Amino acid sequence: MEQPLRKTVIAGNWKMNQTPAETTQLLEEMKPLVKNAYCDVVVCVPYIDLHAALQATANTSICIGAENCHWEQSGAFTGEISAAMLSAIGVEYVILGHSERRTHFGETDVTVQKRIRAALNEKLKIILCVGESLEQREQGITVELIAMQVKIALGGVSEDELKQIIIAYEPVWAIGTGKTATAEQANAVCAVIRQTITDLYNQNCANAITIQYGGSMNAKNAEELLAQSDVDGGLIGGASLKAPDFAAIVGIASKT
């Protein structure tokens, strides 16, 4: 079968790690290692590090993202950052719906949908995270749950706006646990996501959308995961905090 033309995207998710000074240092170390990447490279950092990250990666092909944004443009939301604020300083990407936000900070499919709307309005590119817990997998509801998460998150998103969105399949049981989904498990759920896009939009949209796998991806398992037909990249947590490891994954993605 002919391989559909879609972008391979490797994105780092630094979570709550790195000071601004450490951000500059890590990105300076990464820059030469990923400069010949034949895939898109994104690094998502804490809000406080965005300025340092944008400065360190100016005039490179590394894109910078935030790890969340609020759905309102401004207002009485103590401690929050809006999509408008992110785009105002030149941030290109934002992660939305990460399972850590859903688990620890009360994020729901409906608030994810609202944040997506706000990010789209600001022309940010979005990495939308979906994934099932171990309990849900064992109950046999992974397929329904993932389809539902995708459908609610994309409510009101036009076909044209969908081009700004990447979907990351991140099984909650594989995040930060060292337990990776098998390549077959990852591919099967990424295929469910693609089928959901066909149902919601059409085959062309489904063929074009980048779907990442995330959850304990590292330099050792990346090759097998990225070789899967429906896996178009990775969202990397732990391994994105070490320049050689992240660069190794970028190198593997550049070849697949």
Q: Which residues bind ligand PGA (CB under 6 A)?
A: 13, 170, 175-176, 214-217, 235-239
For ligand PGA, the closer CB: 123 or 220: 220
Q: Cβ of 106: how many Cβ atoms within 10 Å? A: 8
Angle between the N-to-C axes of helices 142-153 and 109-121, in degrees from 0 to 180, rounded to the nearest 10: 40
Annotated catalytic residue 98:
yes
- Of 67, 98, 100, 132, the active-site residue reads 98
Residues in a beta bridge with 9: 40, 233
For tokens 């817990």, name the residue.
Answer: 133
Residue number of the CB atom closest to ligand PGA: 237
For ligand PGA, the closer CB: 97 or 237: 237
Q: How far is the CB of 147 from ligand PGA (least distance, A)?
A: 21
For ligand PGA, the closer CB: 217 or 250: 217
Q: How far is the CB of 210 from ligand PGA (least distance, A)?
A: 15
| Region at 212 (left for phi over 0; alpha for psi -120 to 50; beta for the rest) | beta
For ligand PGA, the closer CB: 206 or 250: 250
Return the sign of the alpha-carbon dihedral for residues 146, 149, 152, 153.
negative
Annotated catalytic residue 135:
no
Q: How far apart are CA 13 and CA 154, in angstroms?
A: 22
End-to-end CA distance of the chain: 15
Q: How far is the CB of 135 from ligand PGA (least distance, A)?
A: 18
Q: How far apart are CA 5 and CA 251, in angstroms?
A: 19
Strands 62-66 and 125-130: unpaired
Q: How far is the CB of 81 from ligand PGA (least distance, A)?
A: 19
Question: Would you please indicate which residues are annotated as catalytic (active-site) residues?
Answer: 98, 170
